[in-house]
Amino acid sequence: MKFRAKVQNNSYSLEVGFLDDSRYKLCIGGENFEVDVCHPEEQVMSLIINGRSYEVYQSETEKESSYQVGSHTFVVQLEDPFEVKQGKGTKAEGGVKAVTSPMPGRIVSLRVKVGEKVEEGQGVIVVEAMKMENELMAPFKGIVKEIKVKEGAAVDSGQELVVIEG
């Protein structure tokens, strides 16, 4: 998956690839890293990056994440890959849109049922990717027409998850 991130007001191009459940291939600005991730506690990550170990404390707000490594703190703002926009996280056909998975992951929770009315921005499904849970939102007010996945299912990037009709 490719996206952009701002770290300390510097913009970077990032690409993340999955090697297995806890290992990732990460490319930042053309430089490659192999990262092994473990979450021993909710806001603590143990990372092994190219064979070197780091303990990282993380905190998140709606707009940014902070990571503390030793005495250094890094503020990261991502272009949200789960933000549901036309052409980004949805597929549209007239007044019907499908919320899609922007990266490979696993369905953790279905927040809606077929026939349920939803409001714009309401959480409809939760996808776990890279050991983080991400809630996908309804792109507009409408009715859930179809749910194409079940809890626990593995999903691919671009796979349709929930169909909403406006």
pLDDT digits (tens, 9 = 90+) for 90-125: 444 447 888 888 778 899 999 999 999 999 888 899
98 and 69 share one domain: no
157 and 99 share one domain: yes
106 and 144 share one domain: yes
Q: Is the pTM of this model over 0.75?
A: no
59 and 110 share one domain: no
Dist. CA 133–CA 61, nearest whole Å? 14
**Residue 85 covered by a domain:** no
Whether residue 60 is predicted with pLDDT greater than 70 in this model: the reply is yes
How far CA 125 is from CA of 68, 103, 104, 142, in Å, comes to: 30, 14, 14, 15
Neighbours of 137 (CB within 10 A): 19
- Span 149-158, pLDDT tens digits: 999 999 987 7
Residue span of the structural domain in which 132 resides: 90-165
Mean pLDDT of the chain, nearest integer:
82
**Residue 83 covered by a domain:** no
Q: Per-residue confidence at 79, pLDDT binned at 50, 70, 90?
A: low
Dist. CA 109–CA 128, nearest whole Å? 9
pLDDT in the model for residue 9 = 67
Q: Per-residue confidence at 4, pLDDT binned at 50, 70, 90?
A: confident
Burial letters 22-49, b for 16+ CB under 10 A, else e: eebebeeeeeeeebbbeeeeeeebebee
User: Which comes out higher in pLDDT, residue 106 or 80?
Assistant: 106
Burial of 100 (0-12, 13-18, 19+ CB in 10 A): buried
- Given 78, 110, 137, the domain boundary residue is 78
What's the domain count of the chain?
A: 2
- Given 51, 78, 105, the domain boundary residue is 78
